[in-house]
Amino acid sequence: MDHFDQCFERLIGHEGGYVYDARDPGGETKYGISKRAYPQLDIRNLTLIHAQAIYRRDYWDKCRCGELPAGVAFDVFDAAVNSGPAQAARWLQAAVGAKADGVIGPVTLAAVRQLPAQAVRARLSGARLDFMTNLPTWPAFGKGWARRIAANLREVA
């Protein structure tokens, strides 16, 4: 079952409206969609419906989240939105012991099914936090990222 709508509602709760923070290398952002990632978009006038379509196509579908267990799907989706689909895929692949090529394919999906979802989620979140604490933007945005990952981990328990 595809849990996109439920996961999108949860994700959008972490993302705000229009923001332009000079410390953010993404530039203008609205609903978590950045000018850097989508230079052709009028970010200020982006609608929630358009953002939802972008999230479905470029993050959810690209990471094959509809084929993952619900909790794992959300964590991969959330990670893809924050750090890109390829990085999210590498974290998932590392969590399940698959070759970390940045593309979620049949081998990765099979490896996910071999482990308890809670273990996959905890490993992915740990790798994500390790990565983010080493980013130069951690001092500016780390508190929010840590809260976001902590919320995911609380759901695992």
- Report residues of the chain scoring pLDDT below 70: 1, 157
- Show me where the domains of the chain are located: 4-156
Number of neighbours of residue 62 by Cβ within 10 angstroms: 18
Structure confidence by residue, pLDDT tens digits, 91-128: 999 999 999 999 999 999 999 999 999 999 999 999 99
pLDDT of residue 84: 94
Architecture of domain 4-156: Up-down Bundle (1.20)
Query: Please, which residues have CB within 8 angstroms of residue 121's CB and are 6 or more apart in sequence?
Result: 71, 72, 75, 152, 153, 155, 156
Q: Specify the pTM.
A: 0.91
pLDDT of residue 157: 62
Contact 26, 35 (CB under 8 A): yes
